[in-house]
Amino acid sequence: MLRRFGRIAALLGLVVVETPLVVVSVVMLVLSVALGMVFLFPPQVRLVRRLAELNRELMRRWTGLAIEAPYLPKPPPPVPQADGLYRYDRTLYKTPRVPAWNDRWKWLITDPATWRDDLWLLLDPMVKLTLVPVFLLLPSQGLRLYALWSDLLLGATANSRLANQVTHLKRTRNLATDSQAAEMRRIERDLHDGTQARLVAIGMTLGAVEQLVEDDPAAAKALLAKAREASSETLTELRRVIRGIHPPVLAERGLGDAVRALAMDSPLQVSVTVDLPDRPEPPVEAAAYFAVSELLSNAARHGDAGSATVDISTRDSDLRITVTDDGLGGADPAKGSGLAGIERRLAAFDGVLALNSPPGGPTTVTMHLPRVLPEHWASGLPKLPRGKLILVGALWATAWCPTFPQGFVAAIFKIFGVQEKTWFLALHLPGPWQWPMIIAMIALGLTMHIMAIRIPAVHNRDRWMVEATPTKPWCS
């Protein structure tokens, strides 16, 4: 209980900070927008966003409500043209400074979250003071109610979520494209340096056979034997390249058996543990297989390892692969050991790679691919939790009071000079305080109505999205 009142005291203490910031923010906005002092706008936005982020963090810690940031993705850095100049609209610049500043200004001023933050800062002190009775009588419910108010203005919207998803998809698409291009270059190099060279040698050998077949049949026969051996080696090389593109065992028997086959062909003593009840999608299997292959190859080639272990396990719909070797350690993605390529492969599926490789070894690489396995849990989602259900009922039962009798009815009495005060709280206050209290009551009542509608709506939306996309990759 003391902790709750301490949190409430800290929350109310922020009013002392927010009140002067409201004045400073309004002044900076007026100077930047009305008087053309645009250089004041980005600092004003940063100031308000930092305070809003502090509020989100406090609500997450104190109430468990994670308020997702609503901001649109930052604009990418300016890219120079072929002539080295930077274009913004119809103007060319020698440096990216001005185009970057213009992009940032446009991003900040067109983001609806910028103005929602300003509205939150303007109303937040009044909302906190209005909720003081609730804070004192029902501290837990008061904190929860304030967290819902914060989520109302500071939470992510459908547009911001969609914009961030599009940006994330573009980034993962580019990573997947880069990884695919690197794979194609590797295949081209293998074909050029291996198979193509062997085929050229076979062709030259057969040409020599044509010249010797009449004059020296024995030599021609020996060359034919060499050509046959070379064709066998070429076929073996070609099969190796094909396995490098997509091993047949992976397509036919899945990731577990493919990794076991990989372990049998490895020069290391590899033990494989597999706990994989369901097969992931083929692209995920391929990414995981080639990642394990690259790690075992690195352990043998660069780490001077003698043995390794591969553990493939699952947790709900997440796939987790751990590869440990007893090599020399000291692996570093920046040194071109193939780890960067593995990270690119995994990033296409929102996967992450964790590396622990101290000098002297051992080296442990853990790969985590979230939400890539079939999961039959959408139908078992719970309904609206009891706490939220009670809160929604309480909001509907009480929201009418501040909205209508204490708000709109009191405003009508005030406008028409009705002297009957009865139980209208605002009309019992001194004259200068009556209108602020009426406005606060109307704002409180409307906020309570919006929250009563928003809580089940958000729950139903999240439930629908999960049911509609049960295998959607999770974003780390």
CA 338, CA 14: separation in Å to the nearest integer?
Answer: 50
Same domain, 163 and 181: no
Joined together, the tokens standing for residue 225 give: 């034997």
Q: What is the pLDDT of residues 178-203, one digit of tens each?
A: 666 666 776 777 777 777 777 888 88
Q: What is the pLDDT of residues 200-256, one digit of tens each?
A: 888 888 888 888 877 788 888 888 888 888 888 778 777 766 666 667 788 888 899
Give the confidence band of 381 by pLDDT, cuts at 50, 70, 90. Answer: very low
Instruction: Look up the domain containing 54 and give its range.
Output: 2-168
Q: Pick the last residue of a domain from 224, 244, 264.
A: 244
Same domain, 221 and 308: no
In a domain, 375, yes or no: no
Q: What is the pLDDT of residues 426-473, one digit of tens each?
A: 888 888 888 888 888 888 888 888 888 888 777 665 554 544 443 433
**Res 309 pLDDT > 90:** yes
Please choose, from the candidates 355, 353, 377, 338, the residue with its C-alpha nearest in 3D space to the C-alpha of residue 470: 377
pLDDT at 173 (0 to 100)? 65
pLDDT at 51 (0 to 100)? 93
Burial of 175 (0-12, 13-18, 19+ CB in 10 A): middle
Same domain, 106 and 228: no
Cα torsion angle, 416, 422, 423, 425, sign: positive
Question: 376: which residues sit within 8 A by CB, 6+ positions away?
Answer: 470
pLDDT at 367 (0 to 100)? 93
CA 260, CA 53: separation in Å to the nearest integer?
Answer: 48
**Res 407 pLDDT > 90:** no
| DSSP secondary structure string for all residues of 450-472 | HHHHHHHHHHHHHHHHHHH-TTP
Burial of 75 (0-12, 13-18, 19+ CB in 10 A): middle
**Domain tally for the chain?**
4
Q: Pick the last residue of a domain from 168, 200, 216.
A: 168
**Res 405 pLDDT > 80:** yes
- Look up the pTM and report it: 0.50
Residue 329 phi, psi dihedral angles, 5° rounding: 75, -165
Joined together, the tokens standing for residue 302 give: 């660069």
The average pLDDT across 84-112 equals 86
Q: What is the pLDDT of residues 118-174, one digit of tens each?
A: 999 988 988 888 888 888 888 888 888 898 889 888 988 877 777 777 776 677 666
3-state helix, strand, coil in the chain (%, to 5): 65, 10, 25
In a domain, 475, yes or no: no
pLDDT at 172 (0 to 100)? 67
In a domain, 476, yes or no: no
Same domain, 56 and 36: yes
Burial of 336 (0-12, 13-18, 19+ CB in 10 A): exposed
Same domain, 109 and 23: yes
Question: 432: which residues sit within 8 A by CB, 6+ positions away?
Answer: none
Same domain, 14 and 155: yes
In a domain, 474, yes or no: no
| DSSP secondary structure string for all residues of 270-334 | EEEEE--SS---HHHHHHHHHHHHHHHHHHHHTS--SEEEEEEEEETTEEEEEEEE-S-----GG
Joined together, the tokens standing for residue 414 give: 């005030």
Which residue reads 């960067």 in tokens? 340
**Res 380 pLDDT > 50:** no
pLDDT at 274 (0 to 100)? 92
Q: Residue 267 has what DSSP assignment?
A: S
β-pair partners for 325: 308, 363
CA 62, CA 5: separation in Å to the nearest integer?
Answer: 11
Please choose, from the candidates 293, 295, 174, 302, the residue with its C-alpha nearest in 3D space to the C-alpha of residue 244: 293
Same domain, 38 and 122: yes
In a domain, 455, yes or no: yes
Residue 314 CA from chain centroid, whole number: 21
Joined together, the tokens standing for residue 318 give: 């997440």
| DSSP secondary structure string for all residues of 318-336 | EEEEEEEE-S-----GGGT
What's the one-letter identity of residue 202?
Answer: I
Left (φ > 0), alpha (ψ -120 to 50) or beta: where does 283 sit? alpha
Same domain, 24 and 130: yes
| DSSP secondary structure string for all residues of 92-146 | EESSSHHHHHHHHHHHHHH-HHHHHHHHHHHHHHHHHHHTHHHHHH-HHHHHHHH
Contact 154, 57 (CB under 8 A): no
Q: What is the pLDDT of residues 7-47, one digit of tens each?
A: 888 888 888 888 889 889 888 888 887 777 888 889 999 99
* Count of beta carbons in the 10 Å neighbourhood of residue 374: 12
What's the one-letter identity of residue 93?
Answer: Y
Same domain, 135 and 17: yes
Same domain, 229 and 198: yes
3-state secondary structure of 155: coil
Residue 418 phi, psi dihedral angles, 5° rounding: -70, 130
**Res 385 pLDDT > 80:** no
**Res 474 pLDDT > 70:** no
Same domain, 224 and 262: no
In angstroms, the first-to-last Cα distance of the chain is 35
CATH of the domain at 287: 3.30.565.10
In a domain, 473, yes or no: no
Residue 389 CA from chain centroid, whole number: 30
362 preceded by a cis bond (ω within 30 of 0): yes
CA 46, CA 24: separation in Å to the nearest integer?
Answer: 13
Q: Pick the last residue of a domain from 168, 189, 224.
A: 168
Q: What is the pLDDT of residues 326-363, one digit of tens each?
A: 988 888 777 665 788 788 788 878 888 898 888 888 89
In a domain, 269, yes or no: yes
Joined together, the tokens standing for residue 453 give: 């509608």
Same domain, 294 and 419: no
CATH of the domain at 235: 1.20.5
In a domain, 182, yes or no: yes
